[in-house]
Amino acid sequence: MTDIKRNFIAGEWVAGPSEIENRNPSDLSDLVGTFTQASAAQLDDALEAAARAQAEWAGYALERKQAVLLAIGNEMMERAEELGTLLSREEGKPLAEGKGEVFRAGQFFTYYAHEVLRQLGENADSVRAGVEIDVRREPVGVVAIISPWNFPTATASWKIAPALAYGNAVLWKPANVTPASAVALTEIIAKQDIPAGLFNLVMGAGSEVGQRLVESPKLDAISFTGSVPVGRGIAQAAVGNFTRVQMEMGSKNALAVMDDADLDLAVTIALGGAFGGTGQKCTASSRLIVHEAVHDAFVEKLVAGAKAMKVGHALEPGTQMGPVVSEGQLTENLSWVEKGRAEGAELACGGERLSLDHDGYYMSPGVFLGTTNDMEINREEMFAPLTSVIKVGSYDEALSVVNDTRFGLVSGIATTSLARATHFRRNARTGVVTVNLPTAGTDYHVPFGGRGESSYGPREQGIHARDFYTVVKTAYISAGTPD
């Protein structure tokens, strides 16, 4: 009999009315598992249980809460090999990236475990004599977390860990493409010393379970990572209930390569930023803005590097780029190749579906040359192993092209000039800027987020996450006069 993985609701593992199958994108004959889908009634149960549990959790002593977060984080780090293998099997990123992601996800929990004890608030004298003021932060309440498939464990963890650390209850709706990693993380959380209902896993399609969840007036906050159209819909649903929202969405990140750059370094950065995670990253370098003086030399090395990349099964040693996550995403990627060609870009290499030993969603890394910033391939997020080169004549032109986008998550510059690096850092209109580093790859103890259509609401990660997961209370105290 098939072992059907269940939802975790109100402290119990429960089966729903239907199931989905999850297959390995590196090898479609490999069934990763069968996963239940939540019903509307189960969602309601989870919402009710969460509200009850949140009140109890908020009353836990600080060290008791901290111990829960530490235990989750430590177990994830200890089991990074095993859980990373599962993640790579269902998502398709090379094993080193899968293991690295789980380890990093564990670090989010240990980092926020320590934030539990950072309790210093503010106080003031009132303008009224004999009255004192105490300003403190309280949990926001019940939080819905809606996470994507491209970082199934890390993105969820950088939301779940602060949500719990700051005293909230969680309903987690992971992407249906990557449910195995969600169940694995939930199994670790479920065995901790937490009230029943504090943490709920509700698997199901975004358009059904997700939509019903974000429309609930019982939610206090929603944290979402995914596409712009879905994010826009969630924000509209949330505002009707005055539910707090935080969202990280798409981007069109640019890496500017200057005439004074260390070219080998610039090529390494560009290849990693464009094709890491099969280009399925909100931080991917999808626009390479290259100074004309080094354009030809850069392009020659870039194309050679892209052609040399080993595309293969995520779990096989030597694989540098795994498959695309799903049939739908691969079809979309191939349509971007056609769109690029149709609008006049030259495909210098790749951009093709590959047939390898295993039946999977393989695609070769593609480089577009001769592109302009007004082409659709340079305006819209492709989320594909595709990158475009845009030739520019000066630093000023490069900066202006970098900023000519409705997104604004990450931008990078490859330069040996301190003056340009400094000017770029201060004038690039993105939430994250990198200098001589890939646009992808960020730390856990500092804020992450963007501008424009890339982000909405308070920043994620580091201590800045507190602004989203807490509400401020101002208390006035008149102590009276001692006898």
Q: Is there binding between residue 276 and ligand NDP (CB under 6 A)?
A: no
Told to check if 86 binds ligand NDP by CB under 6 A, we report no
CA distances (Å), origin 288, targets 67, 137, 271, 310, 446? 45, 43, 10, 22, 26
Asked if 210 interacts with ligand NDP (CB under 6 A), we say: yes
Tokens of 321: 């780029």
Residue number with CB closer to ligand NDP (214 or 294) = 214
252, 378 contact by CB (below 8 A) = yes
236/416 with CB nearer ligand NDP: 236
Task: Name the active-site residue from 101, 282, 381, 453.
Answer: 282
Beta-sheet strand order (sheet of 199-201):
12-14, 7-9, 199-201, 169-173, 142-146, 221-225, 244-248, 455-456
305 binds ligand NDP (CB under 6 A): no
Among 152, 206, 272, 412, binds ligand NDP (CB under 6 A): 206
Q: Using CB under 6 A, which of the segments 171-179, 347-355, 390-398, 430-438 binds ligand NDP?
A: 171-179
187 given a catalytic annotation: no
Give the residue, chosen from 73, 233, 273, 385, that forms a contact with ligand NDP under the rule CB under 6 A.
233
- CA–CA dist 246, 468 (Å, integer): 7
150 binds ligand NDP (CB under 6 A): yes
146 binds ligand NDP (CB under 6 A): yes
User: What percent helix, strand, coil does the chain show, rounded to 5?
Assistant: 40, 25, 35
Only segment of 17-25, 110-118, 247-255, 419-427 that touches ligand NDP (CB under 6 A): 247-255
Taking CB under 6 A as the criterion, the residue among 73, 141, 148, 152 binding ligand NDP is 148
Catalytic residue list contains 248 = yes
Rounded CA-CA distance 167/162 in Å is 8
Tell me the closest approach of the beta carbon of residue 173 to ligand NDP, in angstroms: 6
Among 113, 175, 266, 432, which residue sits at the site for ligand NDP (rule: CB under 6 A)? Answer: 175
Question: Rounded distance, CA 422 to CA 431, Å?
Answer: 15
**Taking CB under 6 A as the rule, does residue 214 contact ligand NDP?**
yes
Contact status, residue 118 vs residue 82, Cβ threshold 8 Å:
no
The one segment of 28-36, 46-54, 106-114, 228-236 that binds ligand NDP by CB under 6 A: 228-236
**Integer angstrom CA distances of residue 263 from 138, 256, 301:** 50, 12, 9
Q: Is 468 in the site for ligand NDP (CB under 6 A)?
A: no
Residue 94 is given by DSSP the state -
β-bridge pairing 346-349 and 7-9: unpaired
Q: Which of 126, 207, 335, 478 binds ligand NDP (CB under 6 A)?
A: 207
Work out the number of other CB atoms within 10 angstroms of the CB of residue 128: 10
Q: What letter would DSSP give residue 311?
A: B
* Pick 43 or 177: Cβ nearer ligand NDP: 177
Interface residues toward ligand NDP, by CB under 6 A: 146-150, 173, 175-177, 205-207, 210-211, 214, 225-227, 230, 233-234, 248-250, 282, 381, 383
Active-site residue set: 248, 282
